[in-house]
Amino acid sequence: MFESFFNLLIQRQTEVLYALREHLLLVFIPVGFATLVTIPLGILATRYRLVEVPVMALANILQTIPSLALLALMIPLGFGIGQRPAMIALFLYALLPILRNTYIGLRSVDEGIKEAATGMGMTYFQRLYMVELPIAVPVIIGGIRTATVIIIGTATLAALIGGGGLGDFIITGLGMVRDELILLGAIPAALLALLADFILGKVEYFVTPRGLRIAREK
């Protein structure tokens, strides 16, 4: 089976690379937008209870909808089929991990540290960018990492609504009962997930301020 997989891989490498590129777009665009939206939203949620309650509730609800159902829902919701509705669904799916980590990261900054910052005369924004965000940033990156890995997997389902990506091989392979075709989508997707996890893990480490790393190692 693996022999036929490798043969197929060599044979259809242009197609695979094209699918990989599509897949990367299905991951990075939704995760990128989710990051841009949720970090400010997470900050607002820690500050205003009025934002916190509805936003966290909505993100939690979105996460409980099965990913397949969420993708399929794009059609009755009027987004139709193709890459764009797939990206919208994946974007919604990426919201919670990042939002939750931004919120938790900021919330877990020690009260004493926040009180000292305010008491010494920092404005709200100074406290945010000089103290809270530097301390919370590893946790926020952790959220982006989780979201990225989840979306790499979930994006294989995008093929079901014509979103393209590595899922195309898997769906076709399932339909034609050809294992090597399934692997042609599944293996690169799995490797991509591992690679993203590894790279973002490194990023997480390097954005952690040295003082916090020392504190954690203790």
Partner 1 sequence: MLELKELTKVFGTGDDTFVAVDNINLTVEKGQFVVLIGPSGCGKTTTLKMINHLVKRTSGDIIINGQSTSQMNVVELRRDIGYVIQSIGLFPHLTIANNVAIVPKLKKASKEEREKRTYELMEMVGLDPDIYAERYPAELSGGQQQRVGVLRALAAEPDLILMDEPFGALDPITRDQLQEEMKDLQQRLNKTIVFVTHDMDEALAMADVIVLMKDGNIVQAASPEEMLKHPANDFVREFIGEDRLAPQPDITPVSDIMVTNPMIVDVKDTPRAVLAKMKRTSTDIAVVTKGSGHRVQGTVTANSIQRQQGKASSVEELVTESVITVRGNTTVRDAAAQLASDTRILVVVDRQNRPVGVVTRAWLLQSLVELWDESSSE
The contact set with partner 1 (CB under 8 A) reads 110-123, 126, 130-131, 134-135, 209-212, 214-215, 218
Q: Which residue has the tokens 């042609």?
A: 184
Q: Which residue has the tokens 């076709």?
A: 172
Of 159, 204, 190, 200, nearest to 26 (Cα)?
159
Beta carbon nearer to partner 1, 138 or 173: 138
Q: Is-contact 109 122, C-beta < 8 A?
A: no
Question: Which of helix, strand or coil describes residue 25?
Answer: helix
Task: Find the shortest distance in angstroms from Cβ 205 to partner 1.
Answer: 14
Q: What letter would DSSP give residue 82?
A: S
Beta carbon nearer to partner 1, 65 or 212: 212
Between 2-11 and 179-207, two packed helices, what is the crossing angle to 10 degrees? Answer: 80
Beta carbon nearer to partner 1, 50 or 116: 116
Task: Find the shortest distance in angstroms from Cβ 139 to partner 1.
Answer: 13
Beta carbon nearer to partner 1, 135 or 181: 135
Q: Is-contact 105 144, C-beta < 8 A?
A: no
Beta carbon nearer to partner 1, 90 or 136: 136
Task: Find the shortest distance in angstroms from Cβ 192 to partner 1.
Answer: 32
Task: Find the shortest distance in angstroms from Cβ 132 to partner 1.
Answer: 10
Cβ burial, residue 202 (10 Å; 0-12/13-18/19+): exposed
| Region of residue 82 (phi > 0: left; psi between -120 and 50: alpha; otherwise: beta) | left
